[in-house]
Amino acid sequence: MTRRPLDAIDERLLALMSRNARESTTNLAKRVGLSRPAVHDRIRRLERDGFIHGYTAITSFPPSRSTLRAQVLVALEPRYQERILEAMAGLGEVRRLMTVSGEYDLVAEVAVQDSGELDRLLTRIGKIPGIARTVTLVILTASLDRDRPPAGR
């Protein structure tokens, strides 16, 4: 994969698509001042060159299923990092998994139905070989989330 420099139009396309990946090529073309085929070619090139890694849907968790969210801070033995990442990625309740610097090595954002399910999940996480310790922070409210699109989008 070759990383070429982005021009202003590529940067504008990436910004527009990061806000709404479902916007039509025709609308994108109008917004950047190019023809639809030219925008289509640019998008394919951005994909090929590794600037666009995929398209996804950001969903809200249905209240009936995942009403409790928490962040689990994980300290691990470095030699087990790959296996721990794989094991935690295999847990459906883990919604985000981030490596971090500092006292802890990973932060896992989890979504569960209730405190009993959280307790069972933490027990499973604690049994993964190489995990030294965890600290769990239950999320009470989300006052701001700039990474989620506004409701109704």
Task: Note whether 82 and 32 are same-domain residues.
Answer: no
Sheet holding 131-139, edge to edge: 94-99, 106-112, 68-76, 131-139
- List alpha helices for 1-153, DSSP H: 8-19, 25-32, 36-48, 81-89, 115-126
**Residue 1 domain-assigned (yes or no):** no
pLDDT for residue 66: 55
Both tokens of 34, joined, read: 């190019």
| Residues 39 and 76 grouped into a single domain | no
Distance, in Å, from the CA atom of 66 to the CA atom of 31, rounded to the nearest integer, reads 38
- Please give the structure tokens belonging to residue 87: 């094991």
- This model's pTM is above 0.75: no
**126 and 79 assigned to the same domain:** yes
* Secondary-structure percent of the chain, ordered helix, strand, coil, rounded to 5: 35, 20, 40
> Which CATH number is 39's domain given?
1.10.10.10
Could you tell me if 41 and 74 lie in one domain? no
Model pLDDT, residue 59: 59
128 CB-near residues (< 8 Å, 6+ apart): 83, 84, 87, 88
pLDDT reported for residue 16: 86
Look at residue 131 and tell me if it is in a domain: yes
Considering its fold, how many domains does the chain have in total? Answer: 2
Of the candidates 69, 85, 68, which has an alpha carbon nearest to the alpha carbon of residue 77?
A: 85
Look at residue 145 and tell me if it is in a domain.
Answer: no
Residues 38, 86 within the same domain = no
- Cα 55 from Cα 22, distance rounded (Å): 9
Residues 27 and 79 in one domain: no
Asked if residue 54 belongs to a domain, the reply is: no
- The CATH number of whichever domain residue 128 belongs to comes to 3.30.70.920
Domain that holds residue 22: 8-48
pLDDT of residue 64: 45
pLDDT on residue 79:
94
pLDDT, averaged in runs of 10, over the chain (153 residues):
76 85 91 95 91 73 66 95 92 92 96 93 96 95 72 50
